[in-house]
């Protein structure tokens, strides 16, 4: 066994590389480009077409990370072991926290200042507030689907810079839709998509919406706020039905996949025009979901759970 690798084994044996970490120590472990290079190479090996988690030998990992100083390589590898990197008979591999770190690096979350530029892209739907074209734009690290004329905001989502590279219009819109849907699906199901803590909906009727970049007029809206990791989303009451089986089935029975329709195409989901407030203490709502001559009418309680639903012939309403 090489002396450098033996030193790493001895360091782990005396507990210096293992055990629980406090937050400051965990961040400090990543404050060096050598450690980032080690994680990156282990992650790149695992992301290869071969199935399974890759194991790299000591010398192979040092060569891939392009670290010629064996003492420096051994020191930083030892610091990562037990928390981000595991040593097994087959070689070194990423532990789950190391996988999360590598995915963060690939997604560009640590380097979003260098994200590709994103010009205004029309989505093909007019604003439900003023009738002007709805467009995709980028604000800091967020991708927005909004009206540039009246500032109605229909989607506001973090999309890693990696997801913007080499994307045509249709691919970009599909990515924005699917990512925003997965996040809201988790939120409305009661789970924070970022830290997995429980999330409960709150109904608000404030005059101004939580985002100063959204001018929509909503009599009431739902807020999903994770008090553990700051995860936050808000939506019109009706939009919560996009993720409910009763609404998905209503569209499926009529030959459409609701999960494939971007929210900004559905007037009833991004406004409150078909939402009726039945009570405020506690909150109760009735939402009409129109589709091809029929209407699904859904009643929601204060937790925005479905308490009743029925399908009727749609009426011609102004």
**CATH number (domain holding residue 34):** 1.10.10.10
Q: Give how many domains the chain has, as a whole number.
A: 2
**Within its chain, how far is the Cα of 30 from the centroid?**
23
Do 138 and 12 lie in a common domain? no
Residue 80 shares a structural domain with residue 131: no
- Residue 112: inside a domain, yes or no? no
**Is the pTM higher than 0.85?**
no
> Are both 130 and 172 inside the same structural domain?
yes
| Of 140, 211, 134, 203, nearest in space to 173 by CA | 134
Question: Which mean pLDDT values do the consecutive 10-residue runs of the chain (318 residues) have?
Answer: 44 41 65 88 82 86 93 92 90 88 70 56 94 89 89 89 77 92 96 92 90 90 91 95 97 97 97 97 97 95 97 70
Do 39 and 154 sit in the same domain of this protein?
Answer: no
Residue 306 forms beta bridges with which residues? 300
> Do 175 and 71 sit in the same domain of this protein?
no
Q: Does one domain contain both 103 and 125?
A: no
In a domain, 25, yes or no: yes
In-domain check, residue 116? no
Count of other CB atoms within 10 angstroms of residue 233: 23
**Do residues 15 and 79 both lie within one domain?**
yes
167 and 232 share a domain? yes
Write the pLDDT tens digit of every residue in 30-71.
778 899 899 989 988 887 767 677 899 999 999 999 999 999
Asked if residue 247 and residue 145 are part of one domain, the reply reads yes
- Kindly calculate the radius of gyration of the chain based on its CA atoms and give it in whole angstroms: 25
pLDDT digits over 233-274, tens only? 999 999 999 999 999 999 999 999 999 999 999 999 999 999
Strand partners, 86: 93
274 in a domain, yes or no?
Answer: yes
Is the same domain home to 306 and 169? yes
Q: Which of 107, 135, 165 is the last residue of a domain?
A: 107
* Domain span at 130: 121-313
Which of 295, 276, 294, 297 shows the shortest CA–CA distance to 285?
276
In terms of domains, do 98 and 151 share one?
Answer: no
Q: What CA–CA distance (Å, rounded) separates 271 from 249?
A: 22
24 with 88, same domain: the answer is yes
* 280 bridge partner residues: 283
């Amino acid at each position: 066994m090489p002396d450098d690798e033996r030193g790493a084994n001895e360091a782990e044996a005396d507990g210096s590389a293992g055990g629980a970490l406090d937050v400051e120590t965990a961040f400090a472990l990543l404050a060096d480009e050598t450690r980032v290079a080690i994680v990156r190479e282990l992650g790149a090996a695992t992301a290869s077409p071969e199935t399974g988690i890759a194991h790299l030998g000591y010398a192979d990992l040092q060569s891939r990370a392009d670290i010629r100083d064996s003492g420096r390589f051994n020191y930083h590898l030892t610091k990562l072991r037990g928390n981000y990197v595991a040593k097994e008979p087959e070689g070194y591999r990423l532990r789950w926290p190391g996988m999360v770190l590598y995915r963060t690096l690939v997604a560009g979350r640590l380097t979003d200042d260098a994200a590709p530029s994103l010009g205004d892209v029309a989505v093909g739907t007019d604003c439900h507030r003023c009738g002007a074209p709805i467009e995709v734009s980028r604000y800091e690290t967020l991708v927005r689907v909004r009206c540039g004329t009246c500032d109605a905001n229909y989607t506001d989502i973090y999309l890693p810079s990696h997801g913007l590279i080499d994307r045509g219009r249709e691919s970009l819109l599909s990515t924005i839709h699917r990512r925003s849907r997965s996040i809201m699906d988790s939120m409305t199901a009661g789970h924070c998509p970022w830290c997995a803590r429980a999330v409960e909906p709150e109904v608000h009727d404030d005059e101004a919406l939580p985002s100063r970049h959204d001018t929509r007029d909503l009599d009431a809206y739902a807020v999903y706020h994770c008090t553990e990791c700051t995860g936050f989303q808000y939506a019109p009451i009706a939009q919560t039905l996009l993720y409910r089986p009763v609404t998905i089935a209503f569209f499926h029975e009529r030959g459409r996949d609701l999960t494939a329709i971007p929210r900004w195409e559905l007037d009833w989901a991004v406004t409150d025009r078909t939402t009726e407030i039945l009570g405020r203490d506690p909150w109760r709502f009735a939402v009409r979901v129109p589709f091809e001559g029929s209407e699904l009418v859904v009643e929601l309680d204060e937790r925005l759970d479905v308490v009743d639903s029925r399908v009727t012939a749609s009426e011609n309403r102004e």
